[in-house]
Structure 1
Amino acid sequence: MEGFIMTREALKLVTIGGGSSYTPELIEGYIKRRDQLPIKEIWLVDIPAGEEKLNIVGAMAKRMVKAAGLDWQIHLTLDRQAALKDADFVSTQFRVGRLPARIKDERIPNYYGLIGQETNGAGGIFKAFRTVPVILDIVHDMQTLCPNAWLINFTNPSGMITEAIKTYGHWDKVIGLCNVPVMAMLSEPELIGKTLDDLTYKFAGIDHFHWHRVWDNTGQEVTMQIIDKLFGDDDAGLPTNIFDVPFFKDQLANMKMIPCGYHRYYYRQEEMLKHGLEEYANPEGTRAQQVTRIEEELFDLYKDPNLDYKPKQLAERGGAHYSDAACEAIASIYQDKKTHMVVSTLNQGSVPDLPSDHVVEVSAQVGAAGAVPMAFGHFQPAERGWIQLMKNMELVIVEAAATGNYGLALQAFTMNPLIPAGATAKHVLDEMLVAHQKYLPQFATKIKELNAAGLTVQDPIAAELTEKPALA
């Protein structure tokens, strides 16, 4: 099947979630790789609720392509099946429930004194619950309409969505991406007077919960040198959406690895919770509310008929480099470049502390055969304990999302280190089921029971964003 892709001379690329504010970065990435990808057509797909943004960003995409002197056809559509027909590569960058859903994911846990975050804690669990059924529908369409296509996923939570695609969608030609490793590799080398070409990086873990080590071009490990410098520049490589509280240096010196920025939610949970609750109480609101305002400003910019390039303000949105990573993955597969990338893919023994038949996020060689993971080796007991808990929690979340098993959903909440187990955890689970009921058909029976019992959303802003249940 790879041979079919490699011999195509006119590529059809499809992006689901085409109305995203990230799409200009995606188009820029394709333009930068014009000599590597013989693109004929790009299809940007969205849903009716996203049609206005699709038209705005789609018009900008056309201006960008024209300014680059290219004759690519840009199609805007709400018809996903028409877009997927005979596609060569499909990328996914959608958010089920859009930003109002993220606001609820943050504010409802905050209301009960818990961390509210997009891909961690209760919010991350519910993002997976909403997204897994949709991605499985997309995979089902692909099996009929473009069975030879590669699926490049950067819909969050990327690792869990990639797990669902492989385990429940039975789709092997998939790579999951995240911008966090990219940001680390872009920012860290200069801390020790090097360039990325001078260094070898090895990452291992799962999406938003990985560690890495680094060697220079003489073979000397320089991980500790970078750690030393990080404590003079604590925000190096830190995503925009993560509060910058420094790690404990003694802890990093003991593990001799660099944790990703999201580890702050676990290693400095007390401080991250305090900051999150301060944001919750602030008139500016939680990160999702701030991003909503940033998005409005971005789309006002995108409406400018003279704008034909990615504006610098997009960096404020967070998630920089996601789209560029997707373009590089596509080019690496098409050209068999065997590029080093950090991706979510089947473990296949690269992290021996985790099952070989489940998805991990690791350094891999990406080419025509997809992602070939690089061996990382065993973790020490502390990291081994963390990663085994977090991966098994992911498996529980994905199974609950795919099956609608309420008992498994409660198990996931009980396992999650950011959710104290007990009555409050169960209440937050139930309230979030009610808040997101429009996007959780798999939990319909339990949600009907909760509605009948009169359960309502207590945070006033989240309640305002929650549609009232339909009368039986």
Structure 2
Amino acid sequence: MKLTVVGGGSTYTPELVDGFARLRDTLPIEELVLMDPAQDRLELVGGLARRIFTRQDHTGRITTTDNLDEAVDGADAVLLQLRVGGQAARQQDETWPLECGCVGQETTGAGGLAKALRTVPVVLDIADRVRRTNPHAWIIDFTNPVGIVTRALLRAGHKAVGLCNVAIGLQRKFAALLSVAPCEIHLDHVGLNHLTWETAVRLGGPEGEDVLPQLLGEHGDRIAADLRLPRPLLDTLGVVPSYYLRYYYAHDEVVRELRTKPSRAAEVAAMERELLALYADPALDEKPELLAGRGGAFYSEAAVDLAAALLGGGGTPYQVVNTYNRGTLPFLPDDAVIEVQAAVGAKGATPLPVHPVDPLYAGLMADVTAYEHLALEAALNGGRDRVFRALLSHPLIGQYAYAETLTDRLIAHNREHLAWA
């Protein structure tokens, strides 16, 4: 089995490689290719990756290359984890929206749209080259904004599934609170990427007992603190929203906070410099503890599980993924990309039936789905008017004066990445 990671020079990659090494019985990789145009980073990450495999007695071969066609040739699956423009572009995404009084975040709001505009054309070019080389390969997208990017891939006819680590992180957290194994926890996870709610927490599987009321009753304070939302709000909702919902439920509070501290992009850039210095140490043969602060917790487990299921070798039968709606949520278009529990196998992902969704969540999902449709149109076809329409439609913006200013700033800060600008 050959698996290729595009964006293999990311400081995330040792987390992924560690999972491949530990879970080799689930996903028996013979060749792992790390592809990245940044050769200096790639060699550091590739060296550590090989040492991790050696330490854990994995017999697979790890190769590095900056040649995309060579990297994907013969691959069974291609995992995308790229960042167009790097941390410098992320810094901009998190800064200029704040100047207009809007949340500055790399996947949500105006910053998220900027990332989508930069990313979608690049990802589609990569996917086209994968299809020319190996039309049977699966594409697993971890590149944000996952919902929009996955929708672009599926719309273009690619064999693609989107992946996010929010659900697996909550599964692990709830399992620890309940003192059970993570495999015993099945989430009724519903929404769009970075716009999700846990409407039930079931023991044993999709038909298991819902212990969410118990979780909120016994551990509500801790869960609320982790989400940085008031406990009474969780009690009122009766569900657990993802931490991204704080941008919606406490928008003005978040904007005030973000204006008073360094950006997350600046923190990550500093952390990456430290990580790369650690990776350069030839004695290091395991992922360092510092990597836990980089984000992407349990990413490797989710990626292994998904790849194994798609390639027909195993994996758990039900997984939270991003895929076409196809009537699962009747209030959304069939071609909307939703994030829900799905049965995953060699033919792809089939969403499980979803219980009726409270209008409180359904309305916001519908609004953001409309935005994602307009965002994809802007990413595919360009034009100031399309960017403006997408921004005006976003629930975190929604006023024409904000949308006008944000449109001009988005284009000004991203001109080098926009072929039409």
Q: TM-score, normalised by structure 1?
A: 0.84
Match of 2:400 in 1: 422
Structure 1 residues 301-316: aligned runs within 5 Å: 301-316=278-293
Alpha-carbon shift at residue 311 of structure 1 (Å)? 1.1
Seen in structure 2, the aligned counterparts of structure 1 residues 195 and 68 have a Cα distance that, compared at 3 Å, is: closer
> Cα offset for 1:248?
5.4
Query: Out of 17, 24, 27, which is 2:17 matched to?
Result: 27
Is 1:185 matched up with 2:171?
yes
1:113 to 73, 80, 101: 101
**2:233 matches 1:259:** no
Q: Deviations over 1:4-60 (max 9, x none)?
A: xxxxxxx1111000100011111111112222333221111112xx22111110111
Is 1:224–1:253's contact at 8 Å kept on the other side of the alignment?
no
One-letter amino acid of the structure 1 residue matched with residue 177 of structure 2: L
Q: For the structure 1 residues 181 and 292, does the alpha-carbon distance in structure 2 shift closer, same or farther, using more than 3 Å as the test?
A: same
SS at match of 2:322: strand
CA RMSD between the two structures: 1.8
CA contact (8 A) 2:6 2:35 kept: yes
Instruction: Please state if 1:133 is matched with 2:121.
Output: yes
SS in 1 for 2:259: helix
Cα deviation for residue 403 of structure 1 reads 0.9
Match of 1:466 in 2: none
1:377 partnered with 2:355: yes
Secondary structure, aligned partner of 1:188: helix
- Say if 2:210 is the partner of 1:221: yes
The answer to whether residue 22 in structure 2 is matched with residue 45 in structure 1 is: no
**Rounded Cα–Cα distance in structure 1 between residues aligned with 2:130 and 2:184:** 40
Name the counterpart of 1:88. Answer: 76
Q: Deviations over 1:125-167 (max 9, x none)?
A: 1111110000110111012101000111101111111011011
Tell me what 2:272 maps to: 295
Runs of 4+ deviating beyond 6 Å: none
- Between the two proteins, what is the percent identity of the paired residues? 37
Alignment equivalent of 2:229, drawn from 246, 260, 264: 246
Residue matched to 1:204: 190
Corresponding residue to 1:269 among 241, 244, 251: 251
Q: If you compute each CA radius of gyration, which structure gives the higher value, 1 or 2?
A: 1
Deviation of the 1:219 alpha carbon:
4.1
List runs of 5+ in structure 2 lacking aligned partners.
none
What CA distance in whole angstroms lies between the structure 2 residues aligned with 1:357 and 1:113? 32
Shift of 1:338: 4.7
Letter of the aligned partner of 1:72 in structure 2?
A: G
2:330 pairs with one of 352, 360, 371: 352
Specify which of 157, 168, 175 is matched with residue 170 of structure 1. Answer: 157
- Residue 426 of structure 1 and its aligned partner are, at CA, apart by 1.4
Matched residue, 1:452: none
Counterpart pick for 2:3 among 13, 30, 50: 13
Aligned in 2, Cα 1:191/1:336: closer, same or farther, shift over 3 Å? closer
| 1:36–1:223 CA distance, 2 compared to 1 (3 A) | closer
* Deviation by residue 1:49-102 (Cα, 9 ceiling, x = unmatched): x22111110111111122223332222111101111111110000100000000
CA drift at 1:247: 3.9
Contact 1:45 1:79 in 2 (8 A): yes
Question: SS at 1:382's partner residue?
Answer: helix
Q: CA deviation at 1:290?
A: 0.8
Write the deviation string for residues 410-463 of structure 1: whole angstroms up to 9, x where unpaired.
11111112225123331222122111111111x32xxxxxxxxxxxxxxxxxxx
Q: Give the Å deviation of 1:291.
A: 0.8
1:352–1:378 CA contact under 8 A, matched in 2: no
In structure 2, the CA distance between the partners of 1:355 and 1:378, relative to structure 1 (3 Å rule), is: farther
Q: d(CA) in 2 for partners of 1:229 and 1:412?
A: 41
* Structure 2 Cα separation of the partners of residues 67 and 387 of structure 1: 45
Q: Find the aligned partners of 1:177 and 1:415 in 2 and give their Cα distance.
A: 25
How many equivalent pairs are there? 417
Alpha-carbon distance, 1:235 to partner = 6.0
| Distance in 1 between residues matched to 2:389 and 2:231, nearest whole Å | 31
When the two structures are superposed, what TM-score results if normalisation uses the length of structure 2?
0.94
Amino acid of the structure 1 residue aligned with 2:375: I
Aligned to 2:30, what secondary structure does the other structure show? strand
Q: Distance in 2 between matches of 1:396 and 1:20?
A: 30
Structure 1 gaps, min length 5: 1-10, 239-243, 280-284, 445-472
Task: Tell me how far apart the structure 2 counterparts of residues 230 and 268 of structure 1 sit (CA, whole Å).
Answer: 22
Moved more, 215-224 or 330-339: 215-224
